[in-house]
Chain A
Amino acid sequence: MNLKDELIKIVGRDYVLDAAEILEQYSRDHSFYPARRPNFVVRPHNTEEVQEIVKLANRCQVPLIPASSKAHFHGCTIPKQGGIVVDMRRFDRILEIDERNRNVKIEAGVTWGQLQSTLAQHEGMVVGPLMPHPEKSVITTFLEREVPVIQIYEYREPLLSMEVVWPTGDVFRTGSASAKNYPNTLVKGVCPVGPGSVDFYRFLEGAQGTMGIVIWALLKFEYRPRVNRTFFVPLRSPAEAVEPFYRIGRRKIGYECLLLDKTSLISILTREPRFDAGSLDHVLPDWCLILVLSGSRARPEERLAYEEEALRETFKNEFAGLQLLSSLPGVPGIEHKLPDWLRDTWPQGLPFWKHSFKCGCEDLPFISRPERVPGLLEVAAGVAGRYGHKTGDLGIYVQPLENSRACHVDLSFYFNPDSASGMEWTRRVYAEVALALMNSGALYTRPYGVLADLVYGRASSYTLALKKLKSVFDPNHIMAPGNLCF
């Protein structure tokens, strides 16, 4: 029996795809990485089928590339060495919403568009990254450690227990869902750690599909506040945001706190047809610090009141030179809409905000201490400038993390995906900027594509230890080969 027949035997004829146009679709994503075609695409619909596919791949030594989203951004699902794309889109069920314990159990193919709209009916929200693509898998988002835009919770990681098919074909449940007879047990699966002396879920995070195929996961959700107050601080440079970040984080004020450059802010605001990029370019500041204060379930106005008082006091006493505005000049009414926008997915049907500028975008995410961010942005601008980039050609989003003791920075490199030379040029700029930033102290914990070679070349002892881990769980190296250091 050939490979195709074996796959058909497992998932059925309708779910083994090898038509040229389909394989072409799976050969590329929204990133600027070169296309590579898979040999097959399969769409299983239960754990047993996934398990059989993994066992088959081990027998045949064929690469497997897990794909849970319907939109991909970093090249992780492009088959670097051919093989079978395991498309998890049929795992699209929200299995349980537990309002009492504030968690939701979802399958790997559940998208942001699907989940947030459902949770909104329960006054809930999974705290996600900044306006995620509506077709992106929620579980993949967190496995990839994308950064939540609300940072008030000390325990910011939302993933709880998971079910995974390891690259060996073994099915395993992490955390408290590992209990025998789950879910017909006392435990509900809300403890993420263990079992035993190993945090198995840590191996699946940041793994870009190399450590196994997640079937379902439980995630925390939070109360979605109804009463909000938005503030804007127009800034001339990112350096002006640094001290406010430290102070606001230390005093635990507000829900969202983020910094956007003008390019990114325009990309977001132009979702409303009444705003056009040209006009906004004239009225918006170069940088804008956005703060949203929100009320809890109980006595929401009272919570808003003490937080607003603390915020105003902080600005008055420590940042008297900065304006704390309750509306954004030139953008009437946005202060009322922004809290929902920041907590929702990007609207279905509109061009994704990162693609509105040139249709293509590759992000360069890194972590830094807040005080170092302005210097790192100068380094990036300097290198990009040598390639002819001007201010505004890069999108910049700065997200304080963990009470502002650190920052996540997203540099967005825009490109035209229809221009091969333009993409190649962007790749070159991106690689140069990435190297310069790393040499200046930027930390890459999500090393996509060219970043992987940079970081693993430098972190030799970590890389060696990681390869030992990989050999335990994937002795035949069948899972997403070519990603990371594997």
Chain B
Amino acid sequence: MSLAPEVYDALEAVVGSRYITQDPVDCEAYSGSRGGHGKDLGMERVLCQPPAAVVLPGSTREVQDVVRICNRYQIPFVPVSSYWVTHCAPRVPEALLIDLKRLNSLEIDDRHMFAVVGPGVIYSQLLEEAMRRGLYTTTPGGGSQASVVANHLTCGFSPLNYRTGFAERRILGLEWVAPDGELVRMGSLAMQDDPFWGEGIGPDLRGVLRGYIGWYGGMGIVTRMAVKLIPFQPERLVPSGISPETALEFPANRIRWFNITFPTREDLVEAMYSIARNEIGAAVTKVPVFWRYIARAKSKEHFWEMWEAPGKEEEIKNSHILRVLLVGYTSEKHLEYEIRVLEDIVKDLGGQFRPTKQSDESWLKNADSVGMWWMTGGYASIEYTIDTLDCGVRGGEYLAELKTQCTPPLMPDYGDPGWFQMGELGHVGYLEFLTYFDPEDSEDNIHKVDEWYYVTGPKKDIEIGLYNGFTLQESPVYLSGPAYGPNFHLWMDRLKGAYDPRRISNPPWPADVDEVIEKVDWLERDW
């Protein structure tokens, strides 16, 4: 596969010979690596293919010119930044991959609490600079190695959203190269050369760029984005440890983690509601029990030794651990006040404080998503519901029961109802239900995982009324579309037609899974 010479020449004229390649080895490297969210599912194995060429534009203008060339020659294109989830590789032949890593400018307006970033900037870079200024933002579940722009457009969930809110609320002014090559400036950038404000003039076109999730490159390319930063606290978090076991030590007068056990799940949930009602906390989360084992394990073998020890099921059934982060945003006395309120709540509900390290290894700057799947090798979250916390807890219980039908080949987690947490000071709750499997398992077992993922889970969501927005990327849109909205998929399709009339921005999104199901014989379409 390669591009026609005239197309290659046109692209080379834009980016220069150093930043374009159609060497098969280079292209193979861009064909979708293994290991990562959803990267070992059937869709990846069936649809992923190497691009015909790769370009690395260095400016918005170059991106715009590349996209216009793609339009002129009808070349499908796929933009990528940090390759974390699926959809980072072309699904169709003869596609151009646009690697955005050269767009790596980072500016921070300390006084007005926002950063302007290109898609090549990752969270780790942004947070290092933000925290120097007493500011922060959410480090997402995708990890601090995720692109700030891509993550704000795609997902952006973490326990810190308890205070910082949905990522889509933190998107300010931006530059969007629409799929047809038109440059559209949004927010205050639409009117002036200042990206400090996000709202649109009248109806807000940020709504085109993402909803619950983004378009995974299916709706053009954002080349520059201002993102909101939030006041944090003034003390420095000091790095400690030796890679890969590193941490940020907390200043004891301003930040504290608390681990609290409760007699029952109901008590734990009541505590979460009570914390939110009293408007304290920076994060309020119940994490999957096996994460604690991952944290303790020294090796994969050590993990399995601990996880498969006798009596594990009973132990997990009775394990109700809440993790709460408190921050003295205003002052040291702010933290002291919140500790007193938390102690009241814990006492009322019969909880007990447990020892925990006063450092961060996961959420403030370092989110280590890779560490979440090493014990099996394959991972994808089947559920990503946002609604009330009660809804999330019930949903997790339903899914835990359903999962028994597919375990093995899925990793057993003994009925644990997943990861649930509060968002937006308790106005919303969040459920993520993680699924682990061995990507080297037999073909039959991998096919069972696919069925669980693409068909069983989405059907259960529709049946019980869960709002699994994130895994739209892993459910057939012609199954979920009619059920939600209704017919949200038709509106997406019309918007796609309006802004991408040639349908060249990462096709066939959002119908990838539908295509997989049409192509394979181990999944059946009955809707």
* Chain A residues near B (Cβ < 8 Å): 100-103, 145, 153-155, 157, 160, 170, 172-173, 175-176, 178-182, 184-208, 210-211, 220, 223, 246, 249-253, 296-299, 302-303, 305-307, 309-310, 367, 369, 371, 402-403, 405-406, 438, 441, 443-447, 452, 455-456, 458-459, 461-462, 464-466, 468-472, 484-485
Instruction: State which of B186, B230, B424 has its C-beta within 8 Å of the C-beta of A462.
Output: B186
Residues of chain A within 8 A (CB-CB) of B219 are 197
Given A154-B163, A155-B424, A223-B279; A197-B202 close (CB under 8 Å):
no
Given A153-B425, A187-B391, A253-B330; A207-B203 close (CB under 8 Å):
yes
Secondary structure of the A contact surface, majority rule = loop
Please give 5 more A-B residue pairs, beta carbons under 8 A apart, in addition to A186-B395, A296-B280. A101-B427, A250-B134, A406-B197, A452-B202, A455-B191
Q: Are B208 and A198 in contact (CB under 8 A)?
A: yes
Name the CB-closest residue of B to A403: B231
Q: Are B337 and A299 in contact (CB under 8 A)?
A: yes
Residue-wise interface mask of B (229-247) relative to A, using a CB-CB cutoff of 8 A (1 in contact, 0 not): 0110000000000000000
Check B86 for interface membership: any CB of A closer than 8 A. Answer: no
Q: Are B388 and A188 in contact (CB under 8 A)?
A: yes
Measured CA separation A184–B463 after assembly (Å): 11
Contact residues of B between 456 and 506, Cβ < 8 Å to A: 462, 464-467, 469, 472, 477, 481, 483-489, 491-492, 494-495, 498-499
Q: Are B191 and A443 in contact (CB under 8 A)?
A: yes
Check B331 for interface membership: any CB of A closer than 8 A. Answer: yes
Stretch in B92-100, B165-173, B367-375, B402-410 touching the partner = B165-173
Q: Are A443 and B427 in contact (CB under 8 A)?
A: no
Q: Are A445 and B200 in contact (CB under 8 A)?
A: yes
Residues of chain A within 8 A (CB-CB) of B337 are 299, 302-303, 306
Check B164 for interface membership: any CB of A closer than 8 A. Answer: yes
Measured CA separation A123–B390 after assembly (Å): 22
Q: Are A197 and B199 in contact (CB under 8 A)?
A: no
Smallest Cβ distance from B308 to chain A, in angstroms?
32
Check B15 for interface membership: any CB of A closer than 8 A. Answer: no
* Chain B residues near A (Cβ < 8 Å): 111-114, 134, 163-166, 168-169, 178, 182-186, 188, 190-192, 194, 196-197, 199-208, 210-215, 218-219, 228, 230-231, 273, 277-280, 329-331, 333-334, 336-337, 340-341, 344-345, 385-391, 394-395, 424-428, 462, 464-467, 469, 472, 477, 481, 483-489, 491-492, 494-495, 498-499, 510
Q: Are A459 and B191 in contact (CB under 8 A)?
A: yes
Smallest Cβ distance from B420 to chain A, in angstroms?
13
Q: Are A461 and B206 in contact (CB under 8 A)?
A: no
Q: Are B192 and A441 in contact (CB under 8 A)?
A: yes
Smallest Cβ distance from A435 to chain B, in angstroms?
13
Q: Are A193 and B387 in contact (CB under 8 A)?
A: no
Smallest Cβ distance from B454 to chain A, in angstroms?
17
Name the CB-closest residue of A to B212: A194
Q: Are B330 and A445 in contact (CB under 8 A)?
A: no
Smallest Cβ distance from B156 to chain A, in angstroms?
10
Q: Are B114 and A190 in contact (CB under 8 A)?
A: no
Q: Are A471 and B498 in contact (CB under 8 A)?
A: yes
Smallest Cβ distance from A294 to chain B, in angstroms?
10
Measured CA separation A153–B333 after assembly (Å): 20
Given A178-B467, A469-B205; A197-B492 close (CB under 8 Å):
yes
Smallest Cβ distance from B86 to chain A, in angstroms?
14
Residues of chain A within 8 A (CB-CB) of B477 are 196
Tally inter-chain residue pairs, CB-CB below 8 A. 319
Q: Are B464 and A185 in contact (CB under 8 A)?
A: yes
Q: Indicate the member of B206, B391, B477 with the most A CB atoms within 10 Å.
A: B391
Q: Are A205 and B387 in contact (CB under 8 A)?
A: no
Instruction: State which of A154, A191, A220, A469 has its C-beta within 8 Å of the C-beta of B203.
Output: A469
Q: Are A180 and B201 in contact (CB under 8 A)?
A: no
Q: Are A203 and B204 in contact (CB under 8 A)?
A: yes
Name the CB-closest residue of B to A196: B488
Measured CA separation A438–B191 after assembly (Å): 9
Instruction: State which of A195, A246, A447 has its C-beta within 8 Å of the C-beta of B212.
Output: A195
Q: Indicate the member of B112, B210, B215, B427 with the most A CB atoms within 10 Å.
A: B427
| A–B pairs, 7, beta carbons within 8 Å | A179-B466, A250-B113, A250-B231, A251-B331, A369-B112, A443-B191, A445-B200
Smallest Cβ distance from A33 to chain B, in angstroms?
17
Name the CB-closest residue of B to A183: B465
Instruction: State which of A155, A456, A468 has its C-beta within 8 Å of the C-beta of B498.
Output: A468
Q: Are B426 and A102 in contact (CB under 8 A)?
A: yes
Q: Are B394 and A102 in contact (CB under 8 A)?
A: no
Given A176-B467, A405-B112, A465-B184; A196-B484 close (CB under 8 Å):
yes
Q: Are B467 and A299 in contact (CB under 8 A)?
A: no
Q: Are B278 and A298 in contact (CB under 8 A)?
A: yes
Residues of chain B within 8 A (CB-CB) of A160 are 427
Q: Indicate the member of B164, B206, B210 with the most A CB atoms within 10 Å.
A: B210
Name the CB-closest residue of A to B345: A298
Smallest Cβ distance from B332 to chain A, in angstroms?
9
Residues of chain B within 8 A (CB-CB) of A203 are 203-204, 207
Smallest Cβ distance from A58 to chain B, in angstroms?
16
Residues of chain A within 8 A (CB-CB) of B510 are 196-197
Smallest Cβ distance from B121 to chain A, in angstroms?
20
Given A369-B196, A465-B178; A307-B330 close (CB under 8 Å):
yes
Q: Are B467 and A468 in contact (CB under 8 A)?
A: no
Q: Are B211 and A207 in contact (CB under 8 A)?
A: no
Instruction: State which of B165, B207, B487, B495 has its C-beta within 8 Å of the C-beta of A154.
Output: B165
Name the CB-closest residue of A to B473: A197
Smallest Cβ distance from A96 to chain B, in angstroms?
13
Residues of chain A within 8 A (CB-CB) of B202 are 206-208, 210, 445-447, 452, 466, 484-485
